[in-house]
Amino acid sequence: MNRLSLTVCALLVALTVSGCGNSSRPDSDTLKIGAYSVVREVFHDGLIPAFAARWKSNTRREVQFEESYNASGAQARSIASGFDADLAILSHEGDMEILVKDGKVKRDWNSGPHRGILTNSLVVIGHRQGNPKQIKNWSDLGRPGVGVLYPDPKTSGGARWNINAIYGAALLAVPDGGKGQTDLASVRDLMSRIQANVINMDQSGRQSMANFAERQTGDAVVTYENELLLRSKEGEPIPYVIPPFTLLIESPAAIVETSVERHGNRALAEAFLEFLLSVEGQQILADYGFRPVNPEAKPSSGERPSPGKLFTMADLGGWAKVEEALYGSQGLWTTIAAERSQAHGR
């Protein structure tokens, strides 16, 4: 009996101790990156091996990467609450601002030549082979009988890019650029007709893509251009259209000051960030379907369809303003969802 209780106690102690065993010690040749899930392939298979080879030939030292990929918002919050990533690569500036507010990232992170932006992409519409529903523009997504997929903006940064694109295209089409308060009716109308056609809001952009491609759900999927190009790189192309007026996706990267201080690997982190923005790094990003921020980099596999007119989040007033206007408690998207359920109840 006595021995049994001793064993139980010992087991508990062992469990507790092993839980805190892996403390990190400073090691200048290790770099931790905390990134959003969409860049997993380009980092893991493209950028990291290329950089490691270059680092070895320059310094004759191995570099070890510890990679973490997660939904952008979740990644930002985990870095804010203590995950010691040296480099934060996030979906949008709004998430980077979480880290700035927490003092993890310098206030002037976006003062460089590329304004802290690592890579660009476009919000596009993927459709079925041969485009049977004739989808060419945002308004086509609101037609009766078109099944649409985009993820839930509550959980997916990708969904926010998608919905912001629809919102922005409609808003900027209003003659005075949507500055007046009264003429939001057309914006609201488009957004609510599209929302009514949404079949399922998955938790992430990847799940939405899987639902569209593997389970053949819906007629159209709103997503990043690079997600569709990645699929065709992997041999399962999905045809897509670039709406004539769409949103330029700008995804930032920044050094997490508190982490590089603690790990003492600032030089390595800066070298990696510099590599990411170099022509070579941008070339790799382009090969994985992104639109490079460095105009000298071109995808090695032919030309991309050139977009029509593009707008940026800055044209819409910036992340904070759009977040409140769409997803706040009285936001446009929030209230549209409420309206929809009333219509459904009738």
Per CB under 8 A, which region of 3-11, 45-53, 162-170, 248-256 contacts other proteins? 3-11
Task: Select from 59, 68, 139, 217 the one that contacts other proteins (CB under 8 A).
Answer: 217
Q: Is 205 in the site for other proteins (CB under 8 A)?
A: no
The number of beta carbons lying within 10 Å of the beta carbon of residue 258 is 16
- The runs of H, that is alpha helices, within 198-236 are 205-213, 225-233
CA angle 208, 140, 71 (to 5 degrees): 25
3 state SS of 126: strand
Residue 136 CA from chain centroid, whole number: 24
Q: Is 74 in the site for other proteins (CB under 8 A)?
A: yes
Q: Is 18 in the site for other proteins (CB under 8 A)?
A: no
Q: Is 199 in the site for other proteins (CB under 8 A)?
A: yes
Q: Is 209 in the site for other proteins (CB under 8 A)?
A: no
Q: Is 12 in the site for other proteins (CB under 8 A)?
A: yes
H/E element, 148: strand 148-149
Structure tokens at 232: 């065709």
Task: Select from 28, 110, 203, 278 the one that contacts other proteins (CB under 8 A).
Answer: 203
* Residue spans of beta strands (DSSP E) within 206-332: 220-224, 240-241, 245-255, 291-292, 309-311
Structure tokens at 162: 């998608």
Q: Is 222 in the site for other proteins (CB under 8 A)?
A: no
The CA distance from 55 to 62, in Å, is: 7
Q: Would you say 160 or 263 has its CB closer to other proteins?
A: 160
Q: Is 4 in the site for other proteins (CB under 8 A)?
A: yes
Spatial contact of 244 and 140, defined as CB atoms under 8 Å apart? no
Task: Select from 166, 194, 201, 316 the one that contacts other proteins (CB under 8 A).
Answer: 201
The size of the interface with other proteins (CB under 8 A), counted in residues, is: 33
Burial (CB count <10 Å: 0-12, 13-18, 19+), residue 151: buried
Per CB under 8 A, which region of 24-32, 104-112, 193-201, 300-308 contacts other proteins? 193-201
Q: Is 154 in the site for other proteins (CB under 8 A)?
A: yes
The residue assigned the tokens 């629809």 is 166
Among candidate residues 252, 250, 253, the one with its CA nearest the CA of residue 311 = 250
Q: Is 34 in the site for other proteins (CB under 8 A)?
A: no
Task: Select from 5, 18, 22, 23 the one that contacts other proteins (CB under 8 A).
Answer: 5
Structure tokens at 9: 């106690």
Q: Is 38 in the site for other proteins (CB under 8 A)?
A: no
State in angstroms the smallest separation of the CB of 164 from other proteins. 15
**293 Cβ contact partners less than 8 Å away, ≥ 6 residues apart:** 114, 117, 118, 119, 120, 277, 282
Q: What share of the chain is helix, strand, coil (3-state, %, to 5)?
A: 50, 15, 35
Per CB under 8 A, which region of 32-40, 152-160, 181-189, 228-236 contacts other proteins? 152-160
Contact positions with other proteins (CB under 8 A) in 86-125: 98
Task: Select from 33, 47, 63, 71 the one that contacts other proteins (CB under 8 A).
Answer: 71
State in angstroms the smallest separation of the CB of 40 from other proteins. 18
Which residues contact other proteins by CB under 8 A?
1-2, 4-5, 8-9, 12, 71, 73-74, 77, 98, 147, 152-155, 198-203, 215-217, 327, 329, 337-338, 340-341, 344
